[in-house]
Structure 1
Amino acid sequence: MTTPTAINGGGEPSTKRPRLADNEAGSKDGQPTYKMAYLGPPGTYGQMAAAAFQSCYDVPIELIPCPSISAIWETSSTFHVFPLENTIHGGVTETLDCVLSNLYSGGSSVQTDEEKQGRRIIADLALPISHCLVVKKGVKKEDIRWIRSHEQALGQSSKFIKTHFPSAKLKTYPSTAGAAVSLINDLNEDEGEGAALCSKAAAKLYEDKLVVLYQGTQGISNNFTRFILLSNPSHPLPNPTTSIPSPHPTEFYVLPSASDIIPFFQSSQIRNIHSRPAPIPATPKTDKDESQRKDGVWTYREDRFPTLYFVEVDVDGMGLQEEDSQISKRGKEKGWYIGKAGWRVTDDQINAL
């Protein structure tokens, strides 16, 4: 077996992964089995995050792997685990688009799904990320013509790829673990041999067929992906038993106008802002706007580039009580309340898995 080359001293948060393969939980003492959807297949960072959230409950929770982030959103599971942002690559646009997709009808005939619209963020965690470059057994570095992985992993490893594989073609895939599995099943030899970026846990699952050429390919050693846990408050939910109240809880809102952000949160600490195109184009404001449009003059940016702003604010600075807060009530007029990360999975809990 080829000896892995360490890059940036990166490594997995823990080498103990027996619970990652445990994807199902049966009923216990007549209690219902809850479901938690995440980005699969087994061995993804999404599964690690789901297992960490799952460990905070003492009721049966079945982990449901999904082939893509949008597929997570489409499930009717009790809980949904999404990657929100990464240290290197920033916000995960697929997650943001899913959360925003069911909020804004814009006066069109599109019908919103009340169940999806009711989902709320309830918790978060920061998962250490360390990517491995894997190949099929027998493939050497000089054989690699392309590299496949999730777009986040490719972006986080861009410096490494440019240094070691400057001519390699990049191919996106719905998940890092899925990219590794695809190497085993890939029968298309027209483009030559390829490699995949995945977690060390995924590489270990398929160590009989895959070889790790490099470890820690991400741009920096302290690379983290923040995951959020969503649930629907209209459903009966179990209470977490081993979670830690977040020392700095934050609330999430979506606003349709940049000009409303500062006035809306003027007495609060804004932690983060993500902007994404609105799912439904805005309607022109007036006939005058139409005439200006024909003359090539655009008075309102929102007319041509309708945007939604995903804003995270510090709860401590406002003394909020979730949806009973004054800012939450105003949010019903100006935008949407998305939830509160009221508890967090600690690093010790993640490392214990």
Structure 2
Amino acid sequence: MATLKDLAEYTGYSIATISRILNHDPSMSASEETRKKVLEAANTLNYAATKSRKGRSLKTALNIGVAISCPYPQRREAYEKQWLSSLEQICKEMKVAWFPMRFETRDSGSAKEEELDGILAIGTFQNAQMNWLFHRCEHVVFIGTSPDEARYDSVAVNPVAGMAQAMEYLTSYGHQHIGLIGPSLSMYHHGQCMSYEVIEGNYLDAMRMHGLGKYGWVLRAQVDPAETKRLLQEYLRSGQPLPTALLAATRENAEGALQALTEHQIAVPRDMSIVVFSDLVQAAEEGEMTSIEPQMDSMCRAAIRLLSECMPGQALQIVRNVPKKSLIPPVLVRRNSVGEPREPQKK
């Protein structure tokens, strides 16, 4: 049976790095390529990575609760399903025990809740919900939003990186007249800032950085397909020129825009290109839209590491007692909604 020394010689990594990866140390930060190489080497050399030398299962690292809140009913089921799927996989990998928490439960807490090391709060939360969470555990990490960076840990999608990817992709096709459709900060009333509500500022900055500021075009619409369709139809009927490409702040905005364009016989991607910012990973059968999508696994892993840094005996360094925010870049998934530009559309 191989030893840690054998694995170190085989992979070129230190014994400490290999040991922490094989023991799924929550505070360990390593690339997916490094983790994969170490785990494959352990399998090749027959190293018992999942058990101790005496056959004893490794101790669970953390016990966490998971609360999910999505303010939009039309996407709530898919939102919860995808996040729980990612979380289940990462918790298994990092040897973290977890259970779902429901706001409908108003009792003093179950036995599991009394042993909580922390809570992962995924989505958008009202003040009452946040108070409910902190009543059950002082260690809460928010995923997807940053309600108060001066007080709470959080993991969010990096909106600047997402906009940069979208802009570089569209300009690589030759697009200069690039528009934005979706909500703005002035439309927001929930008390927390979702990533798509800061997209407008990032869009304007990115257009200026690419020397395209004079071509800026923004159509502000709520996260709703019907309203997006109505507003874009009104614009189309006005006879004003359209951009050659649209950035849709949400999936709903993209759906409404596509319906309006189709009714006006503007084809995608022949006449109009579309890139959508999504807070979900789109299924293969929905793959007509090129999307900027979150790396859910990486966000879950980062959130668990933030929790571990606040746990005595978990982090290798001194326990952290100041808030931290981690920004995870999204990824651009190429599909069938982007092509070379035609002249700005008139209808």
Instruction: Give TM-score scaled by structure 1 length.
Output: 0.30
Flag the structure with higher helix content.
Answer: 2
Q: For the pair shown, which has the larger CA radius of gyration, 1 or 2? A: 2
Instruction: Give TM-score scaled by structure 2 length.
Output: 0.30
